[in-house]
């Protein structure tokens, strides 16, 4: 790996955000080769220079970095957009983790759990249909799903790209005036706009859509618009 700025090294190693790492350096909590360094421009060579934070060695392996974002509505799942639309790249630390890219996609107006990885192979593995990673979506829909419609979604509905695989569907709540309801739909496929199209196929327009889980991972308390690094245990769980 190329030499890099100390704050970038620390951020990449998962110590804290790059900004926070700058504060840690300025506060004299970081040593390089045994000497305290307070200059933010200091460059270090991964695998050559010994970096310590609060007396603990900070190693930067070439390990895959995986980030979970709680995506807000209004952002395209892309790292850039020729028309200048807002993309999710604005929300994740691309400067600290070059090569970060989204694992799959959420529509512009879909919110919730979106993963990013620095390892393209991992992304491909997770998205491969043979793996069938389960994802749960919570949808606010127009009208109230009947029991028959709920069952059709579970058994499979005909879309223009074929029948959907078996899914789980539950009506979580419904307005008493019948104007809308909230539905949890768990699917193991990843076709384009699949949840919106499945619900449209049984006659219900999606008004809002949120992804709450991806495989064994869930958003937990991660606030909308915020990201966090996955631990190596979480990455292993995902890639099992």
Contacts with ligand URA by CB under 6 A lie at: 106-107, 110, 193-196, 209
Q: What angle do CA 42, 44, 47 make, to 5 degrees?
A: 170
The DSSP output letter for 87 is B
Nearer to ligand URA, 18 or 180 (CB): 180
Nearer to ligand URA, 64 or 77 (CB): 77
Tokens of 40: 């933010």
Q: Where are the alpha helices (DSSP H) in 27-92?
A: none
Tokens 């991972």 — which residue? 217
Q: How far is the CB of 114 from ligand URA (least distance, A)?
A: 9
Cα 120 from Cα 102, distance rounded (Å): 9
Q: 160 catalytic, yes or no? A: no
Q: How far is the CB of 177 from ligand URA (least distance, A)?
A: 26
Which positions ≥6 away from 170 have C-beta within 8 Å?
Answer: 150, 183, 184
Tokens 């991806």 — which residue? 214
Nearer to ligand URA, 4 or 106 (CB): 106
Nearer to ligand URA, 107 or 170 (CB): 107
Nearer to ligand URA, 28 or 225 (CB): 225
- B/e letters for 28-47, b = 16+ CB within 10 Å, e = fewer, are ebbbbeeeebeeeebebebe
Q: How far is the CB of 6 from ligand URA (least distance, A)?
A: 38
Cα 121 from Cα 133, distance rounded (Å): 15
- At 151 the three-state DSSP class reads helix
Choosing from 81, 86, 96, 107, the catalytic residue is 107
- At 70 the three-state DSSP class reads strand
Q: How far is the CB of 172 from ligand URA (least distance, A)?
A: 17
Q: How far is the CB of 106 from ligand URA (least distance, A)?
A: 4
Cα 47 from Cα 77, distance rounded (Å): 34
The DSSP output letter for 90 is G
Residues with catalytic function: 107
């Amino acid at each position: 790996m190329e030499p890099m700025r100390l704050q970038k090294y620390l951020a990449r190693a998962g110590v804290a955000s790059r900004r926070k790492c700058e504060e840690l350096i300025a506060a004299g909590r970081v040593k390089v080769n045994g000497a305290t360094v307070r200059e933010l421009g200091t460059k270090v060579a991964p695998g050559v220079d010994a970096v310590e934070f609060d007396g603990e060695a900070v190693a930067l392996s070439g390990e895959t970095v995986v980030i979970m974002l709680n995506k807000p509505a209004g952002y395209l799942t892309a790292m850039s957009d020729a028309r200048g639309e807002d993309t999710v790249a604005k929300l994740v630390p691309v400067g600290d983790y070059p090569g970060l890219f989204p694992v799959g996609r959420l529509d512009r107006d879909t919110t919730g759990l979106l993963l990013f990885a620095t390892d393209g192979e991992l992304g491909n593995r997770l998205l491969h249909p043979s793996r069938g990673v389960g994802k749960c979506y919570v949808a606010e829909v127009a009208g109230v799903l009947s029991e028959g419609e709920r069952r059709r979604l579970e058994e499979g509905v005909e879309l223009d790209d074929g029948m959907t695989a078996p899914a789980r569907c539950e009506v979580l709540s419904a307005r008493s005036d019948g104007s809308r309801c909230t539905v949890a739909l768990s699917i193991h496929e990843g076709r384009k706009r699949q949840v919106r199209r499945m619900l449209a196929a049984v006659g219900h327009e999606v008004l809002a859509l949120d992804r709450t889980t991806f495989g064994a991972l869930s958003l937990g308390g991660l606030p909308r618009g915020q990201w966090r690094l996955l631990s190596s245990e979480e990455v292993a769980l995902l890639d099992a």
